[in-house]
Amino acid sequence: MRQPAGFVDPQNPTAVCKLHKSLYGLKQAPRQWFQKLTSFLQTQGFTFSRSDPSLLILNTDQTQLYILIYVDDFLVTGNNAAAIQRLLQQQKTQFALKQLGNVSLFLGIQVIQSKTGLFLSQQHYATKILHDAGFKDCKPAPTPVTPSSKAQLTVIPPFSDPSLYQRLAGSLQYLSITRPDIAYATNRICQHMQNPTEQDFNALKRLLRYINGTLSYGLPITIGNLDLHSYSDADWASDASDRKSISGFCTFLGPNLISWTVKKQPTVAKSSTEAEYRSLSVAASEVLWLRRLARELHLPQPSPTTTIHCDNTSAIAIAKNLVFHARTKHIEID
């Protein structure tokens, strides 16, 4: 550390100030703030969720309150409006609290309320990405990616501005929070952030053109049943550079999509069955976590297991067969 300008002691030029409390911007400041906030909430009867460390739950005889924390922004909900108001009034004695009423904007995600439910949208954020990239008036594209072509043997020149590519790719990752339709395209783009080429930037431009034509897209949350069901799929050896497969799965709570993932598998699968089974394994792990979280949110799942849909006959046959042999030992572990 060093003293800021104007605070240096001429007699002790190497001395620094001792901090009596953490300052905003220091490495330990976020941890200290989180500890102070959660310590106060724990004195009010809240406990940490076992599934999500940023979720605190108050569960009494007739009252359930939930607080979801992201740094210094948090959502409060529950079944007792009076208890929520009492909690916020108590927090005002400890913190400089600004109450914004019903949620309308949270971390750049716009929440539109209607009689049928909620609609989550990042239209403002998507418009800002297009403006920063200079694609605000570009021609829309019908799909986020072009049909895959065979691997080119020619040397593709590197992109001239890697920092621009990396900045846009990172922004698209955050946009995919409410846009599952761009999850796969964003995953492909982010795999080339270290050394992007002109071809990679063309793929990014294609995605930006698609976003420009679908600015109003978002994630609807409607009233319905509360049963979990999941879908799993894999694209075997789809990456021509390393022949690794792509796993993808999505999970619904009733009619609402609540979780989805597109990710390259860590190792090479020697068959489409193996690739599909690994994708099933990851989807099952996600479902187990969601079931634990649903139980903490008082959304019990009456069925013993959630249905996971898969379109690979061999993977389904292995999943049903309790007898494994040497060639399927790795699958047995999954």
**Helix/strand/coil (H/E/C) assignment for every residue in 317-333:** HHHHCCCCCHHHHHHHH
**What is the per-residue pLDDT across 248-267, written as a single tens digit (0 to 9) for each?**
999 998 899 999 999 999 88
Taking a C-beta distance cutoff of 8 angstroms, is the pair 205, 279 a contact?
no
Banded pLDDT at 115 (limits 50, 70, 90): confident
Does the pLDDT at position 114 exceed 80? yes
**Tokens of residue 292, six digits:** 């634990």
Return the residue matching tokens 């069901």.
229
Does the pLDDT at position 329 exceed 80? no
Banded pLDDT at 217 (limits 50, 70, 90): very high
**What is the per-residue pLDDT across 228-242, written as a single tens digit (0 to 9) for each?**
889 998 989 888 788
Banded pLDDT at 332 (limits 50, 70, 90): low
Banded pLDDT at 192 (limits 50, 70, 90): confident
Q: In the chain, which segments carry CATH 3.30.420.10?
A: 224-333
Taking a C-beta distance cutoff of 8 angstroms, is the pair 232, 310 a contact?
yes
Does 140 or 324 have the greater pLDDT score?
140
CATH fit for domain 224-333, picks 3.30.200.20, 3.40.1260.10, 3.30.420.10, 3.10.450.30: 3.30.420.10
The letter for the amino acid at 61 is D
Burial of 165 (0-12, 13-18, 19+ CB in 10 A): buried
Taking a C-beta distance cutoff of 8 angstroms, is the pair 51, 287 a contact?
no
Beta bridge partners of 68: 55, 75
**Phi-psi domain of 117 (left: phi exceeds 0; alpha: psi -120 through 50; beta: other):** left
Please state, rounded to an integer, the average pLDDT across all residues of the chain: 86
Q: What angle do CA 110, 114, 119 make, to 5 degrees?
A: 35
Provide the pLDDT for residue 304: 64
Provide the pLDDT for residue 305: 63
Does the pLDDT at position 21 exceed 80? no
Phi–psi pair at 222, nearest 5 degrees:
-120, 165
User: What value does the mean pLDDT take over residues 46-62?
Assistant: 90
Look at residues 271, 266, 268 and name the one whose alpha carbon lies nearest to residue 312: 271
Look at residues 175, 77, 173 and name the one whose alpha carbon lies nearest to residue 124: 175
Banded pLDDT at 148 (limits 50, 70, 90): low
Banded pLDDT at 99 (limits 50, 70, 90): confident
Does the pLDDT at position 74 exceed 70? yes
Burial of 22 (0-12, 13-18, 19+ CB in 10 A): middle
**How far, in Å, are 30, 83, 254 from residue 37 at the CA level?**
11, 18, 34
Does the pLDDT at position 153 exceed 60? no
* C-alpha R_g of the chain: 25
Neighbours of 138 (CB within 10 A): 15
